[in-house]
């Protein structure tokens, strides 16, 4: 397990004497490099919500990444870090008039949309902007399908982009999001078919796009499923399907076509880990007579592990080389019964005692952003970053 973890993260976790989230910037950087090698020519706009940590954003921006922002506040954060406005798009289809006007004032000129109502608002508050229309996908095959709240049908997309043209906007592109932690390459194949069909229907209306946005959804590799088995998404096959799809879409289009991608968790999840500690390992008999072990940790759903009810994180118990293990339910410290790992029983060292450090792996995505303000008095975890073997304290999260 420590081998999976990497030397930089392991030494930073070992050096931490209190709870924190550690990000390995060198790891994030090489993950970005790998992605652009696999999908040559793709413009990466990191989905900020997955890790709105200045040092991580700067590390990506330094390599050329832009940002997918979902609110004026995210746009401001990116601008504050020196990212030019033309490398930021407003990727949220849900926005108020005031949000649109503020984003426009901040210099953002490209907006996601999926309805004629939103198009009218963009035309009024960001006149002349570029819009791209999000197509609804089934979300099948993803741990979190994003199917109902966002996106429209192919017919609607033609209506929406036609309305955009009539309102003086530039109908610039189409987008999809196949669902977060997408586990199948078929979902990408399906999305590519939807994009191709819609592009053809748009061409018939004289609308020629300049880009297609594949959204997020690329998986992290280090998670366990709800049964404690390692999730093994077919990432290489996904990249192959995407490369093939890019060729097809390029051939269909009547003009050069650019490709954008908005990865979130894929770039950061496996390069962040949490140093937490043991509260207590208990043994209780349930009303039905069953004897159950519970391992309570200092960190759970409300302070770093928001996604713990859908997936499991690998745990490392440094210093425990015991050969006695018990099967336990692992849970966070709060008075909320949702604050527990999905996995029913996992083997943990029997000798664990209060205060022992625990490392929670693949916790780099959505950890800081989904952290509560201090539910039950459990304060948000601070973070630190490490790079090329050099540790450095970061600002409090």
Ligand X SMILES: *Cc1c(COP(=O)(O)O)cnc(C)c1O
Contact positions toward ligand X, by CB under 6 A?
47, 49-50, 68, 91, 177, 180, 215-218, 262-266
Give the side-chain half-sphere CA count within 13 A for 146. Answer: 17
Q: Residue 153, class by beta-carbon neighbours within 10 Å (0-12 exposed, 13-18 middle, 19+ buried)?
A: middle
Q: Is the CB of 275 or the CB of 301 nearer to ligand X?
A: 301
Between 265 and 275, whose beta carbon lies closer to ligand X? Answer: 265
| Contact criterion met (CB below 8 Å) for 51 and 272 | yes
Tokens linked to 301: 């759903």
Least Cα distance to 20 among 266, 234, 273, 212 occurs for 273
Which residues are CB-contacts of 95 (< 8 A; sequence separation ≥ 6)?
Answer: 71, 103, 111, 118, 121
The nearer residue to ligand X, 94 or 98, going by C-beta atoms, is: 94
User: What is the Cβ-side half-sphere exposure of residue 305, based on CA atoms within 13 angstroms?
Assistant: 34
Neighbours of 146 (CB within 10 A): 20
- Nearest-approach distance from CB 17 to ligand X, in angstroms: 31
Phi-psi region of 206 (alpha: psi -120 to 50; beta: other; left: phi over 0): left
**Minimum distance from residue 24 beta carbon to ligand X (Å):** 18
Cα–Cα distance, 84 to 99 (Å, whole number)? 19
Catalytic residue among 20, 51, 59, 335: 335
Q: Cβ of residue 160: shortest distance to ligand X, in angstroms?
A: 16
CB of 386 to ligand X, least distance (A): 22
Q: Which residue number, 49 or 383, has a Cβ lying nearer to ligand X?
A: 49
- Residue 30's SS3 state is helix
Nearer to ligand X by C-beta: 265 or 346? 265
20 is catalytic: no
As annotated, the active-site residues are 335
């Amino acid at each position: 397990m420590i081998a999976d973890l990497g030397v930089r993260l392991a030494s930073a976790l070992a050096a931490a004497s209190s709870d924190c989230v550690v990000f390995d910037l060198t790891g994030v950087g090489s993950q970005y490099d790998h992605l652009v090698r696999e999908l040559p020519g793709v413009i990466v706009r990191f989905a900020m919500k997955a890790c709105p940590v200045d040092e991580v954003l700067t590390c990506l921006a330094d390599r050329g990444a832009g940002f997918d922002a979902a609110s004026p506040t995210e746009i401001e954060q990116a601008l504050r870090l020196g990212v030019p406005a033309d490398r930021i798009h407003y990727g949220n289809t849900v926005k108020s008039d005031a949000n649109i006007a503020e984003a426009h004032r901040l210099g953002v000129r490209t907006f996601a949309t999926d309805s004629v109502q939103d198009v009218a608002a963009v035309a009024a508050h960001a006149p002349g902007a570029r819009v791209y229309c999000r197509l609804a996908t089934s979300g099948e095959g993803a741990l979190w399908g994003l199917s109902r709240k966002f996106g429209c049908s192919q017919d609607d997309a033609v209506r929406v982009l036609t309305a955009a043209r009539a309102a003086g906007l530039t109908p610039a592109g189409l987008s999809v999001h196949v669902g977060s932690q997408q586990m199948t390459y078929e979902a990408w194949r399906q999305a590519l078919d939807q994009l191709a069909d819609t592009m053809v229907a748009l061409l018939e209306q004289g609308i020629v796009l300049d880009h297609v946005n594949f959204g997020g959804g690329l998986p992290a590799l280090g998670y366990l499923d709800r049964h404690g088995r390692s999730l093994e998404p077919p990432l290489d096959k996904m990249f192959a399907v995407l490369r093939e799809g890019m060729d097809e879409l390029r051939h269909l289009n009547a003009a050069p076509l650019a490709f954008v991608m908005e990865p979130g968790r894929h770039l950061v999840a496996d390069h962040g880990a949490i140093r937490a500690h043991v509260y207590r390992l208990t043994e209780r008999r349930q009303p039905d007579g069953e004897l159950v072990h519970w391992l309570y940790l200092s960190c759970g759903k409300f302070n770093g592990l928001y996604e713990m009810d859908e997936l499991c994180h690998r745990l490392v118990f440094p210093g425990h080389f015991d050969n006695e293990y018990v099967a336990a339910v692992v849970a966070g410290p709060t008075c909320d019964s949702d604050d527990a790992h999905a996995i029913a029983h996992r083997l943990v060292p029997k000798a664990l005692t209060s205060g022992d450090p625990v490392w929670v792996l693949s916790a780099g995505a959505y950890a800081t952003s989904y952290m509560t303000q201090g539910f039950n008095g459990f304060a948000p975890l601070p973070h630190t970053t490490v790079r090329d073997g050099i540790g450095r304290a970061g600002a409090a999260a």
